[in-house]
Amino acid sequence: MRAKKLLSWHFFQKILPLLLPAGVFFLSPLFSEDGLQASLRGDAFVTASIGEPSNLIPFLATDTASADISRLIFNGLLKYDKNLKLTGDLASSWEVRENGLKIIFHLRKDVLWQDGKPFTAEDVEFTFQKILDPTVPTPYSGDFEKVKSLRVMDLYTVEVIYKEPFSPGLASWGMGMIPKHILSKEDLRTSSFSRKPIGTGPYLLKLWKTGEKLELSANPKYFEHAPFIERYVYRIIPDQATTFLELQTENLDLVGLTPLQYKRQTDTSFFRQRYQKFEYPSLSYAYIGYNLNSPLFSDKNVRKAIGMAINKKEIIDVTLLGLGKVSTGPFLPGTWAYNEKVEESRYDPQRAKKLLSQAGWRDDDQNGILEKDGKKFSFTMITNQGNEARKMACEIIQKRLKDIGIEMKIQVLEWGVFLKEFIDKKRFDAALLAWQLSPDPDIYDIFHSSKTRPGEFNFVFYKNEEADRLLEEGRRLFPEAERARVYRRIHEILAEDEPYTFLYVPDALPIVHKRFKGIDPSPSGIGHNFIKWFVPADERKYKMRTA
């Protein structure tokens, strides 16, 4: 084995001079790392969005479209990897000291801004100052208000001191960093930088035509490596039907499908030949939130009975055509905070009836609706307009509750009215809604009993002393194992108290053109390694002029 290897090396050495004059041009690009990458580079990727980005400055990018683009142009100090664990981005490493009061970030030394200037700790300090600047209209200052001070130790080291340990704060350093040397004299509210950004990220913004498209090109100096896909085109197509027609003409390379499109409309030979579909849990869950101050729902047995009377699998099968999972709590299934031991409340209308009768709800006058103290069990479920799946879910629930003797009315409301007049003013019995999940499991704002003022998020008035204590503790702890213990317990408590009836986690359903290779589906989805996607030379669709 060894001899053979030597021999071939010898042989190679011998013929090398012969190959050199002609072959070096051929071989060297294939052998060197850079050369291999260069051969993968090319083509364009075209996707579409319903809305137009509004502002690309990371902490002012509040809508999905802005965040999509901002992510390509800027980097934070940390990011979530494909398994939804925090990892370094602009920071090569970080240390948590003094029980979390102090965090030290060590920055990468090989990062350049897209204009060629080096990225340093000064930029981190500047970004931090701007987020807290009272004249900068960012909605994301909350997590940073908990920082007592931030100090630049040297060019590539930053020390952050918190007022109290705050572990979700670590993830907030995933916020994109902005360049001090360009923005130090600019007013961020009016600066043209929001439309002509310069970041550290894998793509540079080339062109932005309002209402039409944004075009980005690969950053050849990106610190990981230049992305293989040369251009990124983000079209703005406000109509979903049009988007699908554009997909049918192969003008779009990635679209998020609806369950109906996923199951039926793309189930054709055209799509099978040319596109590849993916399916994985999205970062969100749908639930019924009960107003716990309402006399109907203050008894947890009533809430549990409703949970049992609803067949969640049925809701998933009907509204999402089976493309979703039953949810048992406010964490993403499969992540470390999620407690596998919490079982979904099984569909069991008989037990539901029994629970209700124990709680004093009986159908004494035989009219099919339960009564207690002469009042019938009737309530209104509210949900927001524009989400067909939620409306359908309401109708299914209505039927199931009728089966156990509860009358439920449905009110579908415009989003603004829904929030201002009903949720904020707590004028509702129950609401069917969904929360986006962030990879960090901190849900203090949603379930802590102090967060019930108008505009705050515990609008169901949930209060449980143990949960309160654990929610506070979870934010102070840093090691994952210790936090996992806390959040798994919270998961149990919420299942026991059932302030929400957790319904389902819908699937994300992207479809991607088949010419793109290197896609690596993982818990975080497919976007995490976008810079490694490539199109083999013979399949390239768009011929690029080299910039």
Partner 1 sequence: MELVPLFFGITFISFTVIHLAPGGPLDALSALNPKVSAEAKEKLERLYGLDKPLLVQYGSWIIRLLKCDFGNSFVDGEKVTLKIAKAIPVTLSISFLSLLLILIFGVLIGVASAVHEDSPLDKILTFFTLAGFSVPTFWLSLLLMSFFGVSLGLLPVSGLYSLFHEEMSFWGKLLDVLKHLLMPLLVASITGLAGIARFMRSSMREVLKQNYIRTARAKGLSEKEVLYKHGLKNALLPMITLLGLSVPGLLGGSVIFESIFSIPGMGRLFFSSVFSRDYPVIMGVLVLGALLTLVGNFLADLAYCFVDPRIRYSSEESA
- Minimum CB separation of residue 248 from partner 1 in Å reads 5
* Nearer residue to partner 1 within complex by CB, 145 or 340: 145
- Minimum CB separation of residue 64 from partner 1 in Å reads 11
- Minimum CB separation of residue 542 from partner 1 in Å reads 7
473 CB contacts (<8 Å, ≥6 apart)?
Answer: 486
Lookup: tokens for 88: 């370094």
* Nearer residue to partner 1 within complex by CB, 80 or 119: 80
- Three-state secondary structure readout of 391-432: HHHHHHHHHHHHHCCCEEEEEEECHHHHHHHHHCCCCCCEEE
* Nearer residue to partner 1 within complex by CB, 14 or 545: 545
* Nearer residue to partner 1 within complex by CB, 246 or 344: 246
Query: CA separation (Å) from 153 to 105, 119, 156, 180?
Result: 10, 15, 8, 17
- Minimum CB separation of residue 141 from partner 1 in Å reads 5
- Minimum CB separation of residue 137 from partner 1 in Å reads 5
Do 381 and 394 form a contact (C-beta atoms < 8 A)? Answer: yes
302 CB contacts (<8 Å, ≥6 apart)?
Answer: 296, 355, 356, 359, 361
Helix (H) or strand (E) run with residue 325 in it: strand 324-326
* Nearer residue to partner 1 within complex by CB, 144 or 533: 144
* Nearer residue to partner 1 within complex by CB, 249 or 366: 249
* Nearer residue to partner 1 within complex by CB, 238 or 295: 238
Strands 430-436 and 284-290: antiparallel
* Nearer residue to partner 1 within complex by CB, 248 or 380: 248
- Minimum CB separation of residue 519 from partner 1 in Å reads 22
Please state, in angstroms and rounded to a whole number, the distance separating the CA atoms of residues 252 and 233. Answer: 9
Helix (H) or strand (E) run with residue 275 in it: strand 275-277
Quick one: DSSP state of residue 264? I
C-beta neighbour count of 417 within 10 angstroms: 13
Q: Count how many Cα atoms sit within 13 Å of the Cα of residue 78 in the half-sphere of its side chain.
A: 20
Please state, in angstroms and rounded to a whole number, the distance separating the CA atoms of residues 397 and 428. Answer: 17
Complete DSSP assignment for 379-391: EEEEEETT-HHHH
* Nearer residue to partner 1 within complex by CB, 7 or 260: 260
- Minimum CB separation of residue 34 from partner 1 in Å reads 27
481 CB contacts (<8 Å, ≥6 apart)?
Answer: none
- Minimum CB separation of residue 140 from partner 1 in Å reads 6
Tell me the residue type at 69: I
- Minimum CB separation of residue 445 from partner 1 in Å reads 4
* Nearer residue to partner 1 within complex by CB, 138 or 345: 138
- Minimum CB separation of residue 493 from partner 1 in Å reads 19
- Give all strands of the β-sheet with 102-107 in edge-to-edge order: 91-97, 102-107, 157-162, 147-154
Please state, in angstroms and rounded to a whole number, the distance separating the CA atoms of residues 16 and 148. Answer: 63
Interface with partner 1 by CB under 8 A: which residues? 44, 46, 51-55, 62-63, 134-135, 137-143, 145, 189-190, 194-195, 207, 209-213, 233, 235-239, 241-242, 245-246, 248-249, 251, 414-417, 419-421, 423, 433, 435-436, 438, 443, 445-446, 453, 455-457, 542, 545
Q: How far is CA 124 from the centre of its chain?
A: 24
- Minimum CB separation of residue 160 from partner 1 in Å reads 18
Q: Count how many Cα atoms sit within 13 Å of the Cα of residue 281 in the half-sphere of its side chain.
A: 22
* Nearer residue to partner 1 within complex by CB, 190 or 269: 190
* Nearer residue to partner 1 within complex by CB, 189 or 469: 189
- Minimum CB separation of residue 497 from partner 1 in Å reads 19
What backbone torsions phi and psi does residue 38 show, to the nearest 5 degrees?
A: -60, -35
